[in-house]
Chain A
Amino acid sequence: MRLKLRGMKWGSVRRRAVAILLLVFGLLLAADLSTASIPDDNPIPSIFEPHSTPADSIFHLSRFVLAITGMIFLVVFVLLVYVLVKYRARTTDSPHEPPQVYGSTQIELAWTVIPILIVVVLFLATTRVIRAIQDAPEPANVVEVTAIGHQFWWEFRYPALGVVTANELHIPVSDPANPTPTYLKLLSADTDHSFWVPQLAGKTDLIPGRVNTMWMDPHRTGVFLGQCAQYCGTQHAKMLLEVFVDSREDFQAWVNAQKQPAKQEEDVGAGRHVFETTACVNCHAVAGTLATGRFGPDLTHMMSRRTIASGAAENTPENLGMWIQDPEMIKPGSLMPAMKLSDSDQDALVRYLETLR
């Protein structure tokens, strides 16, 4: 084995090493993907697969930083290994101490100046990207969304469009020729949160008593995953986030549907009665009814969402029933209380909720 290795060219050794690394990486990823529950077109929220300008500029900067730090690493690592091999104590050494060297001004100057130069380069590159992202001029056609972090869910309001929704953010794709970026105004109703969808932009915190902003202009349609990235309490882990980047037509259709008041279907009157006569209405809003609470997610079109409770469970009738019976079963520590309804009330209620499309 050793002989063979020695016979091989360095290039082929390297190629093989890279191939093995890629294989391992690929196998691990494949293993991870095979356990995926939701079929997504875009399941891995990797920062190295950007689909929007801010994420893309960061990706470019990060490649540059990685290249420089990688080079520094290689140089120092090689030096270290060289020193360890070359200057290891050997049994054949003379018993005398090695020459006692106390320092060298020239050498020390060199390894002060070179890092300073590297730092200057890195600093300039970084500054450019900071300005490009933070001070980007705002084009005329922006979609404005106010995102409000709550313990443990997201509220999204589109003030110009008259739409209110939760947890699943819909935004239009932005064509570079005619950009329609989305500008988010970030607020918090309680503790700190952080809005992070790695493929679209870096994270920005939602801090009570403070207004933050961020923007993104997705270049392709699809679903992009993210989640709250600032510890905000018990269920910080299940404060998931999905961004649906729709084609312009789909987005318009979605907006039109969301603007409708809630459907009023006759045959679920019983469930609706339960809803409107219990505390649900104090915490939840359903447009066009007397439910105007804002402590929990707006339910007007809750059936248009893929999940409930900020991605904690799929939006199915069974899960809805379980959620209303006792949210602890799905999301222990969530701020919705168990409503302790009778079975028949609960069934009626779920049937009513199912009409809120």
Chain B
Amino acid sequence: MSSDAMTIRAAGAAGRPWVEAVQDWITTVDHKRLGILYILYALLFLLIGGLEAIVIRIQLMRPHNDFVSPQVFNRMFTMHGTTMIFFVIMPVMFGFANYLVPLMIGARDMAFPRLNAFSFWLTAFGGLLLYFSFLGGSGLYGAGNAPDVGWWAYAPLTSRAFSPGHSADYWTIAVLVSGFGSIGTATNIIATILSMRCPGMTLSRMPLMAWMTLVMSGLVLISISPLSAAQIMLLVDRYLGGHFFDTQAGGSATLWMHFFWIFGHPEVYILVIPAFAFASEIIPVFSRKPIFGYPVMVAATVSIGFISMSVWAHHMFTIGMSAASNTFFVLTTMAIAVPTGIKIFNWLGTMWGGKIQFKTPMLFSIAFLFQFLIAGLTGVMLGTAPFNWQLSGSYFVVAHFHYVIVGAILFCIFGAIYYWYPKITGRMLNERLGKLHFWLFVVGFHLTFDPMHIPGVLGMPRRIYTYEPGRGWDSWNVIVSVGAFIQGIATLLFLANLVLSYFKGRKAGSDPWDAWTLEWSVSSPPPVYNFAVIPAVRSRRPLWDQKHPEDPDSRYE
């Protein structure tokens, strides 16, 4: 017994003490480690945000439920939305961009490694600050804790008259700080992609993932800035006597709406374009064919980026804009459906004539295609302004954007984790647990978000902590809640898989999927310096060329 302890201590002394390891991670400027930190951080917040969703669903399971008070409920949906958007999906996307982009373009790190670390820690502290509000939100006033203004934080609800105490400040500053982090990372990604590509990697040979990450980062720069500006103006209103949004002193409530949605709509694409990126890497590999219509995919992505900056007021069709403005925003919103549709067809074209392997990453990508199709179509419905006057602010919208954020984006994130986990850890995720996770999640997802459209059509508004019986909403809400619980269980299964496979998973080798992009040419996990020799590429699929010298891509491009 005691000799056992001795050996362990001896081993510990011989190995590195854990403090040193922790210090290594905290002070790291390595893009791969920062990528992992981003992803782990996001997974932690996914758990928290998921828990908040469960609280919401328990409360709404039956009419006039009193599981939580209205105050707590309002905090829950505010925190759920803010967390999922700013502290789950964005960090995950930055994490993957960080980890993969340098590897994919044959670089040894990001352009600005220290800015990279700084940005991550800004985002990380932003999240902590947001959650600190549960403790410190009352401030000296003793009023409320945790923000309860909704994740759009519409004025004038955020003014001091309606949000005394500090909870609205925590929301503002937390999101502001993490926004600065996002701007830092986006700048870094753009610089990296534009200036660190290996020899032969022209822009037109970059993996689609790199292209899409580039567009996403451009959107971050353009759209986070107005949000940050508006948040600073809000703080000026609250503490320095400004009246930008203070309607009681002549400020404008709609001004905030414009600022917010000029950020908010591109934000949707900031989140979904990386999801497209994952799908565009995964679908070709598991169809055993190159992406169909690469140039069109790039063009569609760039045009989505541009158009997405001119559609924001489709979130404001109900604020009483003139018929002309409404018409304009209907037009731009419809226009964005075209490049989006092109993408769906190009993915289908990629699979057409291939040999589709139904591995877990591919399963998630296929489900993504199906769900994104539906999300896009309900989006078209919401884009026709008059229909929107009925649907907006109802549970139909909630169903629609969860179809986007869960059905499309989260599914792609799961797919990406199954796909790149072997590269990151050197071990495969358990395929059977993965399939179980997939099917359970699909069932949970559809049980939750398919029926959720219906109460919206039957007049149920969003953000209500309870509702009246007898309006035709009751049964649907029960089903929705049950679905949410199933999704929760599936997510726990997934987390278990992540942990178990880390210790017990099959060794991956450098290229488990027989893939074609540069990250698969180095060992798993890749060495700190990524490439011993900077590679030179001659086509979009350098590893294909290597594996098929008789028929290289470079011959056709």
Q: Which residues of A contact B (CB under 8 A)?
A: 28-29, 31-33, 35-38, 40, 43-48, 55, 57-58, 61-62, 65-66, 69, 72-73, 76-77, 79-80, 83-84, 87-90, 93, 97-104, 107-108, 111-112, 115-116, 119, 122-123, 125-127, 129-131, 133-135, 151, 186, 190-192, 194, 196, 198, 201-205, 207-210, 212-213, 225-238, 240, 311, 332-333
User: Contacts A33-B470, A111-B342; is A133 near B386 (CB within 8 Å)?
Assistant: yes
Q: Is the CB of B330 within 8 A of A127?
A: yes
> Are B70 and A66 closer than 8 Å at their CB atoms?
no
Instruction: Let me know if A237 and B293 touch, CB within 8 A.
Output: no
Interchain CB contact (< 8 A) of B370 among A35, A77, A127, A198: A77
The residue that B70 contacts in the complex, of A57, A77, A234, with Cβ under 8 A, is: A234
A79, A115, A208: the one within 8 Å of B337 (CB): A115
Listed from nearest, the 8 A-B pairs whose CB atoms lie closest are: A202-B389, A36-B470, A45-B459, A237-B464, A212-B320, A103-B293, A208-B247, A69-B377
Give the chain A neighbours of B459 by CB distance below 8 A.
44-47, 196, 198, 225-227
CB distance from B450 to the nearest CB of A (A): 13
* Distance of A111 Cα from B394 Cα, bound (Å): 33
Whether the Cβ atoms of B471 and A43 lie closer than 8 Å is yes
Q: Name the segment of B40-48, B150-158, B191-199, B492-500 touching the other chain.
A: B150-158
Q: Tell me if A196 and B355 are in contact (CB < 8 A).
A: no
Using C-beta atoms within 8 Å of the partner chain, give the interface range for chain B: 35 or more
18 A–B contacts from the bound complex (CB under 8 Å): A40-B470, A43-B471, A46-B457, A65-B381, A76-B345, A87-B354, A89-B355, A97-B355, A107-B349, A119-B338, A123-B331, A196-B393, A208-B248, A212-B319, A225-B471, A233-B157, A236-B461, A237-B70
Chain B CB within 10 Å, residue with most, of A89, A125, A131: A89
Closest chain A CB from B479 CB (angstroms): 9
Complex interface: chain B residues within 8 A of A236 (CB): 74, 461, 463-464
B89 to chain A, nearest CB (A): 22
- Expressed in whole angstroms, the minimum distance between the Cβ of A310 and any Cβ of chain B is 12
State A25–B185 Cα separation when bound (angstroms). Answer: 49
**Which residue of B70, B293, B337, B344 is within 8 Å of A119 (Cβ)?**
B337
Interchain CA distance A311-B467 in the complex, whole Å: 11
Query: Mask for B153-189, Cβ within 8 A of A = 1, else 0?
Result: 0101100011000000000000000000000000000
Chain B residues whose C-beta falls within 8 Å of the C-beta of A201 in the assembled complex: 389
Considering the chains assembled together, what is the distance between the CA atoms of A45 and B322 in angstroms? Answer: 27
Given A32-B475, A43-B470, output 20 extra A-B contacts at Cβ < 8 Å.
A32-B473, A37-B468, A43-B472, A45-B458, A48-B457, A65-B380, A65-B384, A73-B374, A89-B358, A97-B288, A100-B290, A115-B337, A122-B380, A129-B384, A190-B156, A194-B393, A209-B250, A237-B463, A237-B466, A333-B70
**B292 near A: Cβ within 8 Å?**
yes
Determine if B70 and A130 form an interchain contact, defined as CB atoms under 8 angstroms apart. Answer: no
A130 close to B330 (CB less than 8 A): yes
With a CB–CB cut-off of 8 A, which chain B residues contact A234? 70-71, 74, 148
CB proximity of B299 to chain A, nearest CB, Å:
10
Query: Which residue of chain A has its CB nearest to the CB of B292?
Result: A103
> Judging by beta carbons under 8 Å apart, are A210 and B253 in contact?
yes
Within 8 A of A (CB), among B436-479: 457-459, 461-476
What distance in Å separates the Cβ of B302 from its nearest Cβ neighbour in chain A?
15
CB-nearest residue of chain A to B317: A202
Do B381 and A66 have beta carbons less than 8 Å apart?
yes
* A36 contacts B469, C-beta separation under 8 Å: yes
Q: How far is the CA of A350 from the CA of B319 in the complex (A)?
A: 40
A126 touches B384 (CB 8 A): yes
Report whether A111 and B345 are in contact in the complex, using a CB–CB cutoff of 8 Å.
Answer: yes
Contact A232 B289, beta carbon cutoff 8 Å: no
B351 on the interface (CB 8 Å rule)?
A: yes
Are A84 and B366 interface neighbours, CB within 8 A? yes
A44 to B458, Cβ gap below 8 A?
Answer: yes
> Complex: how many Å from CA A157 to CA B359?
64
Which residue from A58, A83, A108 sits with its C-beta under 8 Å from B389?
A: A58
For A43, the chain B residues whose CB sits under 8 A away are 470-472
Measured between alpha carbons, how far is A111 from B345 in the docked complex, in Å?
7
- Tell me whether A35 and B293 are in contact (CB under 8 A): no
Chain A nearest CB, measured from B378 CB (Å): 8
Residue with the highest number of chain A CB atoms closer than 10 Å, among B69, B71, B356: B356
The answer to whether A108 and B293 have CB atoms under 8 Å apart is yes
In the bound complex, what is the Cα–Cα distance between A101 and B250 (angstroms)?
61
Residues of B close to A73: CB separation below 8 A: 373-374, 377
Chain A residues with CB under 8 A of B345 = 76, 108, 111
